[in-house]
Amino acid sequence: MPAHPLHLALIAALTSGAAHAQSVDTTMGTLHVHQARGQLTAHEVLTSVDVLGAERIEDQTVAQSWELLGQMPGMQLTETRQGAESGKVSFRAFNGEGYLNAIKTLIDGIPSNVNSGNQRFIDMLFPLEIDYIEVVRGTNDPRYGLHNIGGNINFGTRQGGTYTDGRLTYGSFATRQAQLAVGREHGDFAQNYFVGVQTSDGYRDHDRSEKYALGGKWFYGSLEDGMRIGLTARAYRHQADEPGFMTAEELQAGRRRSAPRNAHDGDDRSMRQFGLHMDLALTEQLMLGTKLYHNRYHDDRRITFSDMPTGNAPRQRRVWDEAQSGLLATLTWAAHPALTLEAGANYEQQHNGYVRERFAYSVPTDFDATPARIQNDDHHTFNNAGAYLQAIWQPTASLKIVPAYRIDRFDGATQLPGGVRAPLQDYGTIGQPKLSVVYGLDADTNLYANWGRTFQVLTGSTPPAYLTPGQAAMRPSTNTGMEAGLRFSPFAGTRGRVAVWQQDAENEVSNMPATGTTVVLGKTRRRGVDLQFDAQIGERWTLWASHAYQEAKIERDGRAPGVSIEGNEVAATPRTISNLGLDYRATDALQFGLQGRAQGDYYLEERNLTDKFGDFAVLDLSAKLRLTPRTSVDVQLRNVTGREYVYAWYDSFFWEEARPMFSPSAGRSAFVSVTVRL
């Protein structure tokens, strides 16, 4: 299919002459591109981008798809392992505890965070459905505002093509998984379908899980003919027990057990997402892309956090009912071979409900009893309007300059028990200047730098996110970040990247909407060094490795006078995150793989009074044999050394008896899968 002049113009604008100022992304695995995109992609414009391709995704056996990012550099996986509340991913020294959800998440370009910023919509995806995962780090991406504090992750699902792929898995803990992906493309009409089912008894007692996913994509037209329009839809249901968090004594007695208090704990979660996509080639130089979307999230979670017999705080039922509707629009103009301009706008409207009930002491917790207290029965709106403008200017073959500016505004109101109604904090217009620069020393070596500002606003349904009587006004916390790096290829078949970065928050807030906990930390500074390297060694060996050193500290205490936390480390932030991988292709039909992941330890709270927890080093092995041109079988061994590590958090329901609580990781496990491609 010949390229449309629009595509040629856009390419020319970014690659003037024999341009040396190339993109500085790192791609692992194969990308399946069935049709050129008219809009500029992140790796064409931005300077700290990693892409994980389908080749390293589709054959992975994971409990939840956020685990796939463990293959990528600098990724902290927070493995809570509590049923549907399984965990999440973070990076750039932002943790996954839920107090500051700093990573924007998207599915096919559609915003996919819940109100708090948590990444629960990722669970709707199975590996066989995912074509690529794109990670943008830092503060210089103007496309998104809300939750885009430290960067963003976009999960691209398969689009177009003609295929029928099925995968069956059986493994440890009676894990059973079935995936079916079907694509049909004829002329200008492409349709893709996916069905996924997974059940497991879980590593621990009272840890059974069942989840189901259904997805579809229908696209018609092509940008070569001037228009492409499409519909995406997916639905998800997850029912799971929760084995509960363990005290140190319970962990020592048996890490696979579940305490009697947790026997009724569980979660029933459902999610839906719909998107209407339209791309128009208005002229040979002008491209308009739009997305309309609707997200629905419902979650009924019953959880007993600890065995404290007094009070009712540790025994809770939390019910979320959230609806998001929004629009994204992007206009791209190839004004000149050396200049491309892009303008974008978005609007999102949220209607959210949150109910939190507390229950009297019983073993196990009786969630069918009348609640001892209804903590929340709230209904709140949360609306965001944003716009940005960026220019991609390449004055010479070696230099690319990308200035950008973004603005965001918010409004909304909450309805609390007792007829209390309150408006959202008035944050005004939040301006975010940004700048990226790439200089090509030669065809294989690029120097790059970026600078930018992002922001944090409060979410949830209660003060201080909303201005109830007597509540003080708050300004957004601005985050200013900078990065400098070098991308290089020391010899054929290798790629490396070295980067140093820093990000300062003016007045960071530790905010947990689920518990109504808000603590102003004050001025924080995050900084680190990222090292990445991968190499193709001969025709049979592939090696990749990464190491991230990072720290997050409180530079100025923003709390009320008392015990100072100035100079302390931000909770749950490991100093080091490392990856190592090695693939060996023994024959055209047989290949072996090795992957190691390691993470340092960290404090559990900002006072830094506890011991450090959370460090681990795990090793996974895999083997894949192609039986026929269309059939293959693979074996994956997880945590082959049987490393016993834990996720830890600080139980502070009762400060006089505050203590760490633990969720143990799964031990050694094995999975066998058969994949058929028709």
Is residue 587 very low, low, confident or very high in pLDDT (cuts 50, 70, 90)? very high
SS3 label, residue 657: helix
Quick: pLDDT tens for 417-434: 989 999 999 999 999 999
Task: Specify the pLDDT at position 24.
Answer: 58
Q: Where are the alpha helices (DSSP H) in 395-464?
A: none
| CA atoms within 13 A of residue 547's CA, in its CB half-sphere | 2
The separation between CA 502 and the C-alpha centre of its own chain, rounded to angstroms, equals 20
The CA-based dihedral angle spanning residues 103, 108, 113, 117, taken in that order and rounded to the nearest 10 degrees: 10
Query: Contact 263/206 with Cβ under 8 angstroms?
Result: yes
SS3 label, residue 120: helix
Query: Contact 51/497 with Cβ under 8 angstroms?
Result: no
> What's the rounded mean pLDDT across residues 315-337?
97
Measure Cα distances from 637 to 87, 305, 585, 625, 670 in Å. Answer: 21, 32, 18, 15, 5
Rounded CA-CA distance 248/270 in Å is 33
For 212, phi then psi, to 5°, come to: -140, 140
Tokens of 104: 């924007």
Beta pairing class for 151-157 and 103-107: parallel
> What's the rounded mean pLDDT across residues 229-238?
98
Instruction: Go through the chain and tell me how many residues it has.
Output: 678
Query: Contact 432/145 with Cβ under 8 angstroms?
Result: yes
Task: Specify the pLDDT at position 308.
Answer: 83
What is the longest distance spanned by two Cα atoms in the chain?
73
pTM above 0.75, yes or no: yes
Rounded CA-CA distance 438/19 in Å is 11
| % of the chain residues with pLDDT over 70 | 92
Rounded CA-CA distance 192/185 in Å is 8
> What's the rounded mean pLDDT across residues 448-458?
97
> What's the rounded mean pLDDT across residues 93-98?
89
- Residues with Cβ < 8 Å from 57, sequence gap 6 or more? 29, 68, 127, 130, 131, 132, 133
Task: Specify the pLDDT at position 563.
Answer: 79
The separation between CA 412 and the C-alpha centre of its own chain, rounded to angstroms, equals 26
Domain boundary assignment for the chain: 5-677
Q: Count CB-CB contacts under 10 A for residue 538.
A: 9
Q: Is the pLDDT score of 7 beyond 50?
A: no
Task: Specify the pLDDT at position 31.
Answer: 54
Is residue 98 very low, low, confident or very high in pLDDT (cuts 50, 70, 90)? confident
Quick: pLDDT tens for 532-567: 999 999 999 999 999 999 999 999 887 767 778 899
For 174, phi then psi, to 5°, come to: 55, 40
3-state SS, 466-530, equals ECCCCCCCCCCEEEEEEEEEEEECCCCCEEEEEEEEEEEEEEEEEEECCCCEEEEEEEEEEEEEE
Rounded CA-CA distance 353/382 in Å is 11
Task: Specify the pLDDT at position 558.
Answer: 79
Rounded CA-CA distance 398/391 in Å is 17
Is residue 353 very low, low, confident or very high in pLDDT (cuts 50, 70, 90)? very high
Please name which of 51, 69, 47 lies closest in space to residue 60, comparing C-alpha atoms: 69
Beta pairing class for 103-107 and 88-90: unpaired
Asked if the peptide bond before residue 73 counts as cis, ω within 30 degrees of 0, the response is no
Q: 409 or 660: whose pLDDT is higher?
A: 409
Q: Is the pLDDT score of 38 beyond 80?
A: no
Quick: pLDDT tens for 173-213: 999 999 999 999 999 999 999 999 999 999 999 999 999 99
Q: Which fold has domain 5-677?
A: Maltoporin; Chain A (2.40.170)
